[in-house]
Amino acid sequence: MTLELEKICVAQLNFVVGDIQGNAKKIIDSAKNAYKSGARLVLTPELSLCGYACEDLFLRPSFIKACDDALDHICLELATLKDLFVIVGHPTGGDLRTRSVTTPKRQNRASVLSEGKIIAHYAKRELPNYQVFDERRYFEPGIEPCVFEVLGVKIGILICEDAWFEGPALSALECGAQLLLVMNASPFHVGKGAEREKAMSTRASQTKLPLIYAHLVGGQDEVVFEGRSFAVDSRGNLVGRAKSFEEELYEIRLSLGDLNNSESTSTSIQIRGTIEPESTEEHDLWRALVIGVRDYIHKNRFPGVLLGLSGGIDSALVMAIAVDALGADKVRAVMMPSPYTAEISWLDASEMAKRLGVKYDEISIKPEFEAFLSSMKNEFDGLPIDTTEENIQARIRGTMLMALSNKGGSIVLTTGNKSEMATGYCTLYGDMAGGFAVIKDVAKTMVFKLARWRNENDPFGQGKNPIPERIITRPPSAELRPDQKDQDSLPPYEVLDAILERYMEQDMDVDQIVRAGYKQEDVERVTHLIKISEYKRRQSPIGIRITHRSFGKDWRYPITNRYKG
């Protein structure tokens, strides 16, 4: 009886950048488990061996050599598994046969391992250099297609960006490919999953080849990968979709026609898998934020997190995300009232801490604030009270949180949202002080949506309604002066966020935004605030990217800048 390729396993896994031995073990274990379940081909994501993205680690010869050695180790560990083919993503700095790291030709590669040997390899041809990508800094493009045979099926490999262009897929088709496999590390943003499926549907329809898309899952610094691997048939129809934001050995079944028949085409290969249903936008955003926090804390080995809980919606949202990500025992909240803190802020903060079961403390900043004012009395004499006194309060809180972080080891989560980061409605060395900015890319209008969504849903078993209703319905306030409201110094958030999206994410200029229906004075005010706040953003902690353009690697604007467009 002739053995056929009946099942392909997509190893949708969460790798750790630089943990080459740990990643290799995860690949080996997954391949062995897939083999036991009947799979004879295992596909891992892009750069699975080293994690994505390793940035300037790619420039270190010792790092490339460690990856080469680990690839050899995987070969040896899987050598006895007859008719198993494993495709591993990895960087290389030289020829795979000589393992030289002196050649300048560094590439992003896929290698096909079988029975102790590397039987084929492919170098990524299209190197992205936009948004968060910087691959031309590290790699040279490949030239040749790669088509290899597994148990009678001719398979072409593509790596991520390759599949968004016609050339690489057509090259594989010309070399006889009957099935396309795409290895990916494509960062999440709202709507990206549907974009990928549409693009791959187009590629499959164009080549008339079924296509399997293997994707990474997990958080890496500011980016998140959501998994959601999938498969489309030769007509471009979705025939399989894996889970989002979870590791999974996702199986795709193949039905093979007479592939030796000279009249047979790729349509003789039928593929199918289970189809995980779509989620709502809020659900996807919540899971992206949760996995972003969880992986940043766990992969960097922090014992827990610490945040200032003000009784406002931003800190409430961050705490709810943190508890879902880490559990209540790893979260500590500190309420630091000032002379201007409303009693209901105390009550709401305390109530939320009780609902989620986190460690909660109250430390007044009034004595420190009075001491500062006393020390600066001569300097401030005769001058009006202004944002100086407001910022002193914020900086006292930042100092306290960082002191607690130093003593206990927990990292401080900052609570500023994208609307605030855009307009500079934040204090350097105050509320910006911390190690990880959870909602840095979440606009204020979305903050409200996520808070309401989380109160109505319990995705991680921590209970519904973690956020007291009054926190959501109260007008937002920094509470740094009497009767202060955010909207005293900012346009309504619906207006602010709409202008921000158009200017910052869509690159529209002032005139275009005004023509879209917004007041000239509002547009000029918001865009002016964005420009003059760049120096602050450069000093802010990294945060989770959930839009296609965040204030991180996507945004590279000069601080010294007089352009007025």
Distance CA 339, CA 479 (A): 9
Task: Write down the catalytic residue from 124, 299, 330, 444.
Answer: 124
Single-letter amino acid, residue 2: T
Distance CA 320, CA 330 (A): 12
Query: How many other β-carbons are positioned within 10 Å of the β-carbon of residue 375?
Result: 10
Please indicate whether residue 124 is annotated as part of the active site.
Answer: yes
Half-sphere exposure of 84 (CA within 13 A, CB side): 27
8 A C-beta contact, residue 240 and residue 274: yes
Please report which helix (H) or strand (E) contains residue 179, including its range. strand 179-184
Nearest to 438 by CA among 301, 293, 221, 551: 293
Give the CA distances from residue 142 to residues 63, 103, 387, in Å, rounded to whole numbers and listed in that order: 21, 15, 56
Give the CA distances from residue 184 to residues 43, 147, 252, 412, in Å, rounded to whole numbers and listed in that order: 10, 18, 17, 32
Task: Write down the catalytic residue from 160, 368, 390, 553.
Answer: 160
Torsion angle of the four alpha carbons 335, 336, 339, 341, in this order, in degrees rounded to the nearest 10: -30
Please indicate whether residue 54 is annotated as part of the active site.
Answer: no
Query: What tokens appear for 146 in the block?
Result: 């790669």
Contacts with 31 (C-beta within 8 Å, 6 or more apart), sequence order? 11, 42, 78, 81, 84, 86
> Where does residue 167 rank: exposed (0-12), middle (13-18), buried (19+ CB within 10 A)?
exposed
> Where does residue 104 rank: exposed (0-12), middle (13-18), buried (19+ CB within 10 A)?
exposed
Distance CA 214, CA 491 (A): 44
Please indicate whether residue 166 is annotated as part of the active site.
Answer: no
8 A C-beta contact, residue 440 and residue 345: no
Give the CA distances from residue 360 to residues 335, 352, 404, 406, in Å, rounded to whole numbers and listed in that order: 8, 10, 13, 18
Give the residues across from 436 on adjacent strands.
Answer: 413
Half-sphere exposure of 282 (CA within 13 A, CB side): 16
First to last CA, the chain: 71
User: Residue 25 has what DSSP assignment?
Assistant: H
Give the residues across from 14 on adjacent strands.
Answer: none
Task: Write down the catalytic residue from 26, 46, 146, 390.
Answer: 46
Contacts with 563 (C-beta within 8 Å, 6 or more apart), sequence order? none
Distance CA 433, CA 402 (A): 8
Q: Is 387 helix (H, G, I), strand (E, B) or coil?
A: helix
39: phi > 0 → left, psi -120 to 50 → alpha, else beta; which? beta
Return the active site residues. 46, 124, 160
